[in-house]
Amino acid sequence: MSQMLQMRGVVKHYTRGNHRVEVLHGVDLEARPGEFIALMGPSGSGKSTLLNLIAGLDKPDRGEVVVAGSHLNTLTQRELSRWRARHVGFVFQFYNLLPTLSAELNVEVPLFLTRLSRAQRRQSVAASLSLVGLTQWAKHKPQELSGGQQQRVAIARAIVSDPTILVCDEPTGDLDRATADEILQLLRTISTKHGKTIVMVTHDPLAAGYATRQLHVDKGLLIRSEERAIA
């Protein structure tokens, strides 16, 4: 597959009260497999909407979204659920871990959607936690972990089912600089060494510096693209 992500003429409206507001005005975007893209822009520019469309959480009103070879416009909600389970890993700003589950159970949650046996699931969970450096924290609940550790658990959950693409919504927005750098380094490793395509929304130019391409969104349009080589 030459392109991991293709968006053509994507338009998206939201209804706020009695007003219909166009958030995206015909966005075109392409991403190659293994690319690490940072979506930047001011609040309300449409970057989170764009991320939701890429992740299959929402559908465009016009235009086409093709991710990992699937035309997301044509899928039903049930098909979209299955598609997300197979292809998408999520990392959120506030980690969004399930507070009643241990770290390893949080990571195992997406695997209940697969046909893996219990032993295979445990093996995948252990590998993911090892990759993010949290093996010894597997039995701990989220409230017993620091913010950085919680985000690592969230990343382990995002990659445990070997998705095609990772969507990250402000993954370092709630972390201090040093911890943020660790998380971003981890994401870059996942992109470069494991070949995962990553699309990350961020306000932080330093965070965006870890990406291979920076896309600037303003008023519902992609206004600039900057590509940079990984050091």
Positions in the binding site for another protein (CB under 8 A) = 48, 52, 55, 57-58, 77-78, 81-86, 88, 90, 92, 94, 96, 98-101, 109-110, 112-113, 115, 157, 169
Q: Which of 200, 231, 88, 91 is nearest to 148 (CA)?
A: 91
* Closer residue to another protein (CB): 39 or 212: 39
CA–CA separation, 4 and 88 (whole Å): 12
Query: Exposed, middle or buried, 16 (CB in 10 Å: 0-12/13-18/19+)?
Result: exposed
CA–CA separation, 131 and 121 (whole Å): 15
Reduce the DSSP state of residue 18 to 3 states and report it. coil
* Closer residue to another protein (CB): 161 or 214: 161
Minimum distance from CB of 231 to another protein (Å)?
A: 33
* Closer residue to another protein (CB): 19 or 78: 78
Minimum distance from CB of 225 to another protein (Å)?
A: 25
CA–CA separation, 143 and 211 (whole Å): 30
Minimum distance from CB of 215 to another protein (Å)?
A: 20
* Closer residue to another protein (CB): 50 or 212: 50
Minimum distance from CB of 25 to another protein (Å)?
A: 19
DSSP 163: -
The partner residues of 30 in beta bridges, in order of sequence, read 6
* Closer residue to another protein (CB): 52 or 179: 52
Task: Give me Rg for the CA atoms of the chain.
Answer: 17
Minimum distance from CB of 187 to another protein (Å)?
A: 18
